[in-house]
Structure 1
């Protein structure tokens, strides 16, 4: 098995075990909760000084997106340079990418470029929100979350370029041009889902930030409240719901044979599902009249 798949299986498995223990086994040692939860769901730090010592501000989420914009931008610029003949993949580069995923390069140039462009749109939006929209409290996350977050946004574009003809192979191509006519109906459906969910997630980010601002636009509190209206009437964490759909939309663009990206989608689904369930439980525990019909992440289901 290749390096990226091994890593994704490891973190997905560890996350699944830890969150299952937290949700369904009350006697789970507090150290497990301390190393798994973050933000408002983090247990009181006074009882876990070790966890506190390896914690960083949650606002450091911003670092993920700054890195993602730079890293994805690098691969887009490199792909354009290859397309215009300014450079070409070296044997060292293709061998390095082969270590990350042993799948034979199969994405066409159009599919690979379309996926990279969509990823760039997504991470740029998240970066802009994090820098100029989101209102972060003094909540923390432990360093393990920070490292996994950084790694996630390094891996994200690599799942595309490591299986992309023209970048992950030294084989000479007659044409490396983007062709709209090559995009299938399924891929267009994926693009629509991806862009719609990004739009909805952006609207939710503004909604969450506005709840912490007064009429003058100044921050007046860092607390939490029960949001009502829109998607919040159906699930506690619609931004988690749309995060899953964003990756599923991108999977439609890449296709069912996207071996490495499929593993990344699995990690995102597990991560967002458990995060939503834990957040949902926190809201129910902290707000007496929390709407009983509201679900965690999937309307009417979960």
Structure 2
């Protein structure tokens, strides 16, 4: 099941990224494909169409984050409980069969070392998944709050139905990609617990005891990659919150004057879509926190970059068409590069 799930997720991220990469190739033969893909990706101000066919209100954006919060919370809670009960990160004493075996490096010691290393690696991987899901939970909770209280979407703002479905897919597959290496074991753990509850009944089940420090302490024992990744994540998270606040305040003003304004402040001084740049930084932090050795998470990151850079380029072109006085020093999404 594990290989099947990992393979499916990797195939999905590749399938999602390839059309964007193909559409980004500067070839006149591919303009039709690029225009078709842009039609699916446009929303809000970049979707200039009087027809509502195959579109949904842009306020449906919050559906992404309701799904993300519920799904990520389920995965986080399940994985955390599994890690707490089955994979404690504790130092185990080295046991020797006898002194001669220790001095000569006998097969018994070698066998123990290999099994111990594998066990420790598995435990670390499980707690790392908990850590990554915790970062994801922080992100999607804030995005949900923003869609409810910060972004006041216009009743006329629309998004293509395929873009809507892509968003639902992303926020289902992304949390799963962060924990796919241990999800089968977590699932089996939950099934066994539910089966035991059904067989034994509520009154016969042992009392669940959770010691808060033991519940959190293993996260403190993770490596430097996790904490550097978390720092990068927080850097992007803070700037995205600031940029969304700027956009939210502009939308309130635009409702009064009925016109678009050029946003200013924070990373808006460098790029047209700093909230997309911040999202890229956020997921770069996730890659670092994962240790950088998980291909599934790299493919998730590749999809995020391809999707947001593609969307940011169209947003940048819209700004240039809309405003004659648009700041010439601003690029689309990557400072000094693009």
TM bucket (normalised to shorter chain) is 0.7 to 0.9
State the match for 1:229 in structure 2: 265
Please give the alpha-carbon distance, in whole angstroms, between the structure 1 residues aligned to 2:216 and 2:144. Answer: 29
Q: Structure 1: 5+ residue runs without aligned partners?
A: 47-51, 87-103
Point out the more displaced range, 120-129 or 52-61: 52-61
Distance 1:143 1:23, change over 3 A: farther
State the match for 1:91 in structure 2: none
After TM superposition, give the deviation of residue 64 of structure 1 in Å: 0.3
State the match for 1:283 in structure 2: 319
After TM superposition, give the deviation of residue 121 of structure 1 in Å: 0.3
Please give the alpha-carbon distance, in whole angstroms, between the structure 2 residues aligned to 1:186 and 1:111. Answer: 10
Please give the alpha-carbon distance, in whole angstroms, between the structure 2 residues aligned to 1:23 and 1:196. Answer: 39
State the match for 1:258 in structure 2: 294
**Of 143, 167, 189, which aligns to 1:149?**
167
State the match for 1:93 in structure 2: none
**Is the CA contact (8 Å cut-off) linking 1:105 and 1:163 kept in structure 2?**
no
**Residues 1:160 and 2:178 are matched in the alignment:** yes
After TM superposition, give the deviation of residue 32 of structure 1 in Å: 4.6
State the match for 2:256 in structure 1: 220
Secondary structure of 1:235 counterpart:
coil
**Is the CA contact (8 Å cut-off) linking 1:251 and 1:262 kept in structure 2?**
yes
After TM superposition, give the deviation of residue 25 of structure 1 in Å: 6.5
Secondary structure of 1:263 counterpart:
helix
**Residues 1:199 and 2:238 are matched in the alignment:** yes
Please give the alpha-carbon distance, in whole angstroms, between the structure 1 residues aligned to 2:19 and 2:217. Answer: 40
Point out the more displaced range, 109-118 or 77-86: 77-86
After TM superposition, give the deviation of residue 233 of structure 1 in Å: 1.2
Point out the more displaced range, 265-274 or 139-148: 139-148
**Is the CA contact (8 Å cut-off) linking 1:106 and 1:163 kept in structure 2?**
no
State the match for 1:125 in structure 2: 142
After TM superposition, give the deviation of residue 28 of structure 1 in Å: 6.4
After TM superposition, give the deviation of residue 13 of structure 1 in Å: 1.0
**Is the CA contact (8 Å cut-off) linking 1:197 and 1:242 kept in structure 2?**
yes
State the match for 1:241 in structure 2: 277
After TM superposition, give the deviation of residue 60 of structure 1 in Å: 0.7
Point out the more displaced range, 118-127 or 159-168: 159-168
**Is the CA contact (8 Å cut-off) linking 1:109 and 1:178 kept in structure 2?**
no
Point out the more displaced range, 179-188 or 6-15: 179-188
Q: Structure 2: 5+ residue runs without aligned partners?
A: 1-5, 87-120, 190-213
The number of residues matched between the two structures is 274
State the match for 1:76 in structure 2: 76
**Of 38, 41, 48, which aligns to 2:46?**
41
Distance 1:148 1:38, change over 3 A: same
**Is the CA contact (8 Å cut-off) linking 1:106 and 1:165 kept in structure 2?**
no
More helix by percentage: 2
- Deviations 1:256-282, CA, capped at 9 Å, x for gaps: 211211111000000111111111111
**Of 293, 297, 301, which aligns to 2:333?**
297
Output the aligned Cα RMSD. Answer: 3.0
Distance 1:222 1:254, change over 3 A: farther
Distance 1:85 1:256, change over 3 A: closer
After TM superposition, give the deviation of residue 296 of structure 1 in Å: 0.7
